[in-house]
Every structure is written in C-alpha cells, then in structure tokens.
Structure 1
C-alpha cells in the first residue's frame, strides 16, 4: 500500500510496533486464540477477560473519542474496525468517522463522494486513497455514507510530511500562508515517552551512528509529530463542528498505543476530553499462551490477532525493495531542498 511518506524508518515502525513486548506467561483457554487472519479476540487488559464487540461498544457509549489502532493491511484489524463502528453507532448514532488514511488536503474529494457528486473510483483517484482502500477501508466509508455521517480526512498533507522528513521542520516556514493555516498551531508538540519509544524502535532497526543519519532520524521524527499533531487537531475540530458526537478514529497502532502519539497530543490540547484506545496485539501461531501480561499497557482494550506472513526472508531483496520504495523522485519537489 502507499502513503507512508516520511522515510524508511517509519515503515519499520509500523512493522515492529505490533510485535513488541509480547510475554508468553499468561495462560488462556483455547477459544481465546484467534484461529484465522480475520479474527480479532477482544480482551479487557485490566481483568484479562474476553468481551464481544457489543459489550465493548456499551462500555464506550459515553467516551468522546474512540481510537481503533490497526496493523495496516491486517484483515482482522479492518474487520474489527468495521464491526465496532457499527456497534458504536447503535449505542450513539451521533458519530463522526476520522481517518488517518486520508489527508486533510483531500477533504473535498471525500465530501464529494459522501454527497453523491462522485463515484467510488473518482473518489479514490481524487483523494489519493491508499492502495488497499477497497479491501480495508471501503466498509468504514460506506457505513458513514449510508448513514449520513461525516468523515474527516485527518492526516497531514503527504507532500508536506515528506518534505519535513527530508529537510526538517523549518520547511513549514516556506509554505504559502493558506497551506500553513491548515496545519495546527504547535505542529511539533511532543512528549518525552513518544520520543523514547521512537528512538528504541529506530535503534533496533536502523543505525544512527553518524551525524548525517542522526539528522535524518530527527527529521523523520519531526514528520511523525506533524502527522500526530495534525490528527489530534482535526479530531478536536470535528468535535467543535459536531457537538455531542462521538469521534471514531482509525489509525496505525504506533500513533495510539500506550496512549502516546496522537492520543497524548490530543490530551495535551484538550485535557478534559475522554479517549479510549483499542490496540492490536500479535499472538504468534506457534504458542497457546496469550501475550497479555506485558502488553496490558498498550491500550484500554486489546485485541489479539495472528501475525501477518513475512514479507521477505531474503535480507538483500528486502533492502532492495525498501530502497526502491523510498528513492527520491527525479524532480525536486521541496522548496530549498538539494537534489
């Protein structure tokens, strides 16, 4: 899929975040373990007990913002998002869908589709939708469209994120005033715990031994913050535009688990807002022990899923694929950037 713009390390973040901190000391009955790639087994980490989607929706009825973390492209994550969206709607029909998977500069394309002015393929082309839109996000969009619910394109513009990752946060000063106005005030608001988590993942996946690499990693992190701050700001704007509505936000789990990323910045910007985080935890297929104990901190509620197949077994082929994916375009697109 596309739209992972900020740099190679962010791809690694997405793949590592769902597999970290797994402990096999917790025992669980066989019917708790997911049996297929479509299954997600919900658990209340406080008690260790399972619950179904309806019961979870009932618990979340009065929560202002429900953040459903995902492993991008994982069937179980996307199926759970769709089921929970519908269950939450049954509890509280005043609902707004907010999505990391659309960028704010494509809001008009999303609105045109919701209002019936364009067809699905037109919307996909006009909005720059992710390659897996039809397989993963179509059910969310169609539920919102069928029930007349707003959909918020919550992410920062891809080109801006890319250029911050390439040239640093000062890139925002070179944007036209109209483009800068779309972005939040304090667009690089941060938390120490999030930076620490980011550094740990990067240290595990990519060397930052020299000054050039350290600068690149720091720019990558600033681009990550821009995305998180933008999503937090868009969620708060949606609440202001739709008073009393419950916001359902879908995002990659690194942006939300442990109440970090978007969630931490949302609470900084609006301390009184209530937020619930639902996070995926990978349960390896070669063990019957539930990976619960050291994953309890990942969210208010967890869901167990099977791991996705390995994309590569050959390290050289994996490196070649990453290099090709993140190779700079021939044409320079960032103002002031060196070719």
Structure 2
C-alpha cells in the first residue's frame, strides 16, 4: 500500500510538472472568439485578393508569423503573391526596386531607405524573402514629411505642393470620415484638433492607394501594418472598399492577453482573424 501511494504521488507530481511546462506562444481566434487552427486560416487567406496583417510593432510572435504566412502563401500562390508594408514610404520605391533588381548593394539600400530602427530583426526577413523569390514589394506609406505637415497645418496644405510631390500620396482631395471609430479615438486624444486624425487619414488613404495600384486581378496582396490601421475593417480597409467594394480581403490583428486560452470580449470582431499572444512575451525592442 505504501508503494501504491508513493507511485500515485509521483504520477501526480509528474502530471503537474508536465501541465506547468505547457506554454503556448499564441492562439488564433475568429471574429466571434472561436479558436482556429493556423492551417484553416491559411486555406481561407489563400483565396483572398488582399490580406492585411495588423501587427504590434514590437511583438516577436507577430513578426515570426508574418514571415511564416508569407512562406506558406507563396507555396500556394507562387508569383501571384505581392507584398507591401507601412514601414516603407512611397518615395523610396525606386530604391527598393533597384535593390531587388540587383543594381545597388544591401548596404546602400539600408543607408538610403529611412528604415525603422527594428528593420533588421523584424522587416528585413520579409524583404529578403520577397527579393529572393522574385516577388514585388510595395512601399505603401506616405512620406513622413507630408504626414507631419498635415498634423501641423491641416490637409489643405497638400494642395500647395508641386505636382511632382503629389505622386507620393493618394490623389487629392483626401476623403475624410470622422465617424469611423479609429479616427474618433484620435480626435478625442487630440482634444478635438482634426489635424491629428487627418494625418492618419492621409496615411491610410495613401496605403490603400498604393496597395491597389500595385495589385492586379488574380494576385494576392499581403500587406503588413500596425493593427490600428486595419482593425474593425477601418483605416486602410475602409479606403480600399470605398475604391473597390467588390474586392475580397481579410484582416488579421494582433492582441496581447495575460490568458490566451479564451478571447477577451473587447477583441471580438476586431478582425477576421485574431492572433493572441501572451502579454509576457519578449519584445523586439
């Protein structure tokens, strides 16, 4: 009997230790909070015209899954896959193209591109994957100098720019919709100053413009951006749908939770696919 209880205690300790060691790095959910397998999400995404992957800029799992998704979508769609990102500005497209065609070195590319500080860890793998596989990579964001101009002086200042400057953002006039939740939040943060959300609208409209202009029928455009730019199908997605309502697209967002075993209700309907990462996950910066 003593031996039996000793074995039972040992088994209980072993099971407890095993359960304590099960640390999930992420969990996927659909918009209604139902758990989802990556394989199913991939199958659904491969049938879209566009996919917007909303990230948390310093989230390691988000960046890892972006690269994995790029690889898997390429395996299914091949050269029909087009990639693009918020992290690269439209006036740097020529530099991106020159690098992809082998005209300039990687060192010159990185010196001249106004890259984000976390480029080498988080975005370089995406760029290099596209380059090595002969895929197009679009620089979709507005040059920051124009967004800064709008945040300080308003959208009307864009009209005063020369025509050769206006090719780097969405055609004027930039449509505004302060009723959208994302811009209403920014308006509240700015104490009612519309210049702040107007600068965001310029970014979103421009990313939508260059996403559409770099996409052709039959292709799948995979776009990477901060989650705020596409959550609730607002931001970039709103401008895409205004221009081309029939397009098939899906949105992924990234959120952090203490407990990833179920989706917090505040994140329901935030996107078509919700990537939940433990809030204690290490950051890239």
2:64 is matched with which residue: 79, 91, 96?
79
Partner of 1:301: 273
CA positional deviation for 1:34: 6.4
1:62 is aligned to 2:36 = no
Q: 1:288, 1:128 → 2: CA distance?
A: 36
Map residues 252-331 of structure 1 onto 2, 5 A cutoff: 252-284=226-258, 287=259, 290-307=262-279
CA positional deviation for 1:163: 0.9
CA positional deviation for 1:41: 2.1
Q: Is the contact made by 2:99 and 2:106 (CA closer than 8 Å) also made in structure 1? A: yes
CA positional deviation for 1:190: 3.1
2:203 is matched with which residue: 227, 231, 241?
227
Bigger Rg over Cα: 2
Q: Structure 2 vs 1, CA of residues 34 and 50 (structure 1 numbering), >3 Å: closer, same or farther?
A: farther
CA positional deviation for 1:87: 1.0
CA positional deviation for 1:263: 0.5
Partner of 2:103: 117
Q: Structure 2 vs 1, CA of residues 227 and 200 (structure 1 numbering), >3 Å: closer, same or farther?
A: closer
Corresponding residue pairs, total = 263
Q: 1:308, 1:169 → 2: CA distance?
A: 40
Q: Is the contact made by 1:58 and 1:91 (CA closer than 8 Å) also made in structure 2? A: no
Q: Is the contact made by 2:51 and 2:223 (CA closer than 8 Å) also made in structure 1? A: yes
1:188 is aligned to 2:174 = yes
Q: 1:152, 1:310 → 2: CA distance?
A: 29
1:132 is aligned to 2:118 = yes
1:250 is aligned to 2:236 = no
Q: 1:34, 1:159 → 2: CA distance?
A: 43
Q: Secondary structure at the match of 1:172?
A: helix
Q: Is the contact made by 2:84 and 2:139 (CA closer than 8 Å) also made in structure 1? A: yes
In angstroms, what is the RMSD of aligned CA positions?
2.4
Which aligned segments of 4 or more residues in structure 1 are displaced greater than 4 angstroms?
308-311
**TM-score, normalized by length of structure 2?**
0.85
Unaligned runs of 5+ in 2: 1-18
CA positional deviation for 1:191: 3.4
Partner of 1:168: 154
Unaligned runs of 5+ in 1: 1-29, 209-213, 312-339
**TM-score, normalized by length of structure 1?**
0.72
CA positional deviation for 1:186: 4.1
Partner of 1:25: none
